[in-house]
């Protein structure tokens, strides 16, 4: 492969090949590149790794990886639609290693000992399993851990951190994921505010550091208020997020969001009273947690950023 590339660059430099011929030679050179065979007979064994290595490779220690297997209800062996099989521990570690940092499947051969095509199939298989069985947990707020008792606990925790609002149980915000400029429909995914082509997501974070809801993706040109409307989250808030005396338990967001009994935002205007400025300052200091949540995802699993 190296010799083919060297000849290709030399020919191009001498202008002996036109663009089409260079492309043909490049394709032929790529065909000569074969996967390393040293790892084909190697099988992944988590027991051979230390806890430090597990954290470095997968972001979880060994015991937590086994706990995660059970929590995700992974079968002993995953079987893809194309009949490729994998041990659940190896499949889970492949998923975690792949998401941890931008990489190529070819880079994972030494660790997991499967061909690139098999790694791709196994990765998609376990990803589909998690999405199909647990995706709904981020799609609605009707969860046991979001009971009225828990919401009151969250609201008290927010108040204890210095927030002046006593009924705020979570924070809502939008985030952008930059993408390559598409060949078509560029304006649809272009954010005039960020000046990039992107997709947008909306998340709701609670004081315990968990995302209670996630919505997206949406086109980069859409405003956060439009994303809030499209998510349909307001209907759920109005129907279920109320105390017995009908006091609304609300979310807090930035100025882009609409002002509603169940959705609060900072006071706006050039002439704010001292009390209004103090309210904005105190609520801003606790609202930053939702931005930390998005940042933590990108830091721990940079592949998705």
Residue 31: per-residue pLDDT? 44
Q: Give this prediction's pTM.
A: 0.81
DSSP letter assigned to residue 181: P
Rg from Cα positions in the chain: 25
Judged by DSSP in three states, 48 sits in: helix
Residue 51: per-residue pLDDT? 94
Residue 113: per-residue pLDDT? 84
Convert the pLDDT of each residue in 51-73 to its tens digit.
999 999 999 999 999 999 999 99
- Please give the angle made by the CA atoms of 25, 31 and 32, to the nearest 5 degrees: 95
pLDDT, averaged across the chain: 87
Average pLDDT on 277-289 reads 88
Convert the pLDDT of each residue in 213-264 to its tens digit.
999 999 999 999 999 999 999 999 999 999 999 999 999 999 989 999 999 9
Strands 196-205 and 77-79: unpaired
Structure tokens at 43: 């099988």
Residue 227: per-residue pLDDT? 94
Average pLDDT on 29-51 reads 68
For residue 283, the tally of other CB atoms under 10 A from its CB is 23
Query: Which pLDDT band, with edges at 50, 70 and 90, does 40 fall under?
Result: low
Whether the per-residue pLDDT at 14 is higher than 70: the answer is: no
Convert the pLDDT of each residue in 77-109 to its tens digit.
999 999 999 999 999 999 999 999 999 998 898
For residues 105 and 77, the answer to whether their CB atoms sit within 8 Å is: no
């Amino acid at each position: 492969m190296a010799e083919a590339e060297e000849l290709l660059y030399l020919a191009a430099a001498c202008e002996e090949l036109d663009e089409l011929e260079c492309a043909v030679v490049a394709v032929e050179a790529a065909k000569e590149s074969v996967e390393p065979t040293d790892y084909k007979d190697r099988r992944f064994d988590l027991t051979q790794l230390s806890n430090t290595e597990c954290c470095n490779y997968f972001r979880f220690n060994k015991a937590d990886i086994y706990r995660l297997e059970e929590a995700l209800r992974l079968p002993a062996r995953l079987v893809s639609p194309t009949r490729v099989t994998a041990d659940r521990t190896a499949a889970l570690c492949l998923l975690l290693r792949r998401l941890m940092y931008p990489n190529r499947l070819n880079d994972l051969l030494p660790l997991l000992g499967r061909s690139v095509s098999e790694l791709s199939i196994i990765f998609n298989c376990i990803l589909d399993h998690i999405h199909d069985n647990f995706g709904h947990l981020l799609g609605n707020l009707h969860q046991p851990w979001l009971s009225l008792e828990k919401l009151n606990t969250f609201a008290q925790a927010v108040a204890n951190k210095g927030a002046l609002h006593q009924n705020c149980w979570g924070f809502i915000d939008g985030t952008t994921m930059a993408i390559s400029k598409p060949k078509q429909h560029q304006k649809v995914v272009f954010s005039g505010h960020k000046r990039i082509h992107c997709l947008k997501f909306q998340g709701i974070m609670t004081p315990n550091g968990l995302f209670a809801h996630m919505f997206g993706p949406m086109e980069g040109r859409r405003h956060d208020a439009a994303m809030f409307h499209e998510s349909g989250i307001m209907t759920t808030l109005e129907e279920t997020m109320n105390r017995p005396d009908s006091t609304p338990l609300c979310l807090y967001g930035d100025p882009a969001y609409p002002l509603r009994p169940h959705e609060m935002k900072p006071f706006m205007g050039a002439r704010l009273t001292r009390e209004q400025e103090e309210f904005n300052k105190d609520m801003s200091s606790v609202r930053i947690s939702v931005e930390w949540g998005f940042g933590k995802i990108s830091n721990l699993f940079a592949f998705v950023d």
